[in-house]
Amino acid sequence: MDEHHGARAGARVVLVAAMASGQGKTTVTAALARRLVRMGKRVRVFKCGPDFIDPLLLERACGSPVYNLDLWMVGLDECRRRLGEAAREADAILVEGVMGLYDGTPSAADLAREFNIPVLAVLDASAMAQTAGAVAQGLRDYGPVQLAGVLANRIASPGHAAMVKASLRDIPLIGSLPRQEKKLPERHLGLVVPGELPKVEEMLDAVAEQIDLDDAAWEALPILPPSPAQVVTPAQPLAGRTIAIARDPAFVFVYPANAELLQQMGARLVYFAPMDDEPVPPDADAIYLPGGYPELHGPALEAATQWRASIRDAHARGVPIVAECGGMMAIADGLTDKQGQRWQMAGLVQGEVVMQPRVSGLGLHAMPTAQGELRGHTFHYSLMDSSLQPQGHTIKQNGGAQGEAIYRLGTLTASYFHAYFPSNPEAAAALFLGAAR
């Protein structure tokens, strides 16, 4: 690190929020990140709340792993540590909000207030002009939050931008973005996986060029001071153990913090691709089947006979297996996609998975374990019909009602629940040691 950067006071920081989903938060955050990178700045991006898809795109935009921030799932101390670490390393920090600014408990606004992060409000101005000022003032004053300014999205012309700017009164218009001819296509869990977009880099560069940024307004943003470095040295219950993680277009949903923690706890991580009919690595002491899109890859998974036999063999040998959401779907007896076509899966968990026309499970959940509560979330568009008796259920964070079924079969733990391992490292380690009871 050069002297100039070594003496830096911190990073400019904003939380990119909106009045609702669908306003263009992810596109604006990605465009702003890529624009700042092209200006020679080091950029770190975070995603508020539980999410896998948006971080994949934002990682491509900024060139660094994108971690999640959530006051409940990640926790106050871990959020503070992550932000402080980013302020030591970067010139700019962007935090993409979730849903609307005040939606959820905790909300993006709660996170912004907790860490004194100013909010950059993304307004979809495609069907409004002067009313933008009323929306911006409402977003600012309802909480209230510290509003850094507005970024007007889907602007039709310079005249349109001028009307929006005049309506904001004392709120700065930090930037604007014209309507996009080429949208990043969407899928039932959000944006598509960036690896599936052949021209994603060109799209990011194009949208970065189109963003009209008021450099003076950007430079007026407050600086988040770096916190002293905290050395985190978790216990090493997984020392000497190899964990095999499924990774291909059907298995993509892994929190970066989860993989990082497994390594910090001593595990060696290896990856394999079931869709390419790669078997479970023979030296695996435990297996992690994360979520993803098995329903979009039924033919490949049905044809992967070597992978299917290897996961059944590993289970028969008592290898601990953790299967989350899509990972559980891929080891059921069968999976019926949205077109009504049934595909043979690995047949480890007795049951049939059927895709549904609308969301079947959504929200923050906690899984009770012998080591205490393991926090995470659920978001799925399928239902599992199994003859197996659940060994327990997750608990919904909002209200404490019964959540997702947890199936245990020998050393296999399977559920629609996505666990955030750093919320309880001891419980996470127990899953991969086959000791979570």
How far CA 391 is from CA of 161, 369, 387, 419, 436, in Å, comes to: 57, 11, 12, 17, 11
Give the tokens for residue 296: 């979009």
Q: What is the DSSP letter of 275?
A: G
* 3-state secondary structure (DSSP) of residue 220: coil
Half-sphere exposure for 53 (CA within 13 Å, toward CB): 18
DSSP 289-348: E-B--GGG-HHHHHH-HHHHHHHHHHHHTT--EEEETHHHHTTEEEEE-TTS-EEE---S
Contacts of 76 (CB under 8 A, 6+ apart): 114
Dist CA 18 CA 240 (whole Å): 46
Do 147 and 45 meet the contact criterion of CB atoms below 8 Å apart? Answer: no
Burial class (CB in 10 A: 0-12, 13-18, 19+), 33: buried
Identify which of 91, 207, 222 has the alpha carbon closest to the alpha carbon of residue 149: 222
Q: Please confirm, yes or no, whether 325 is among the known catalytic residues.
A: yes
In the block, residue with structure tokens 């916190």: 227
DSSP 369-405: -TT--EEEEEEESEEEE-SSPPSEEEEETTT--EEEE
Residue 3: Cβ within 10 Å count: 6
What is the CA 284 to chain-centroid distance, rounded?
Answer: 27
Dist CA 428 CA 432 (whole Å): 7
Do 404 and 378 meet the contact criterion of CB atoms below 8 Å apart? Answer: yes
Residues with catalytic roles: 325
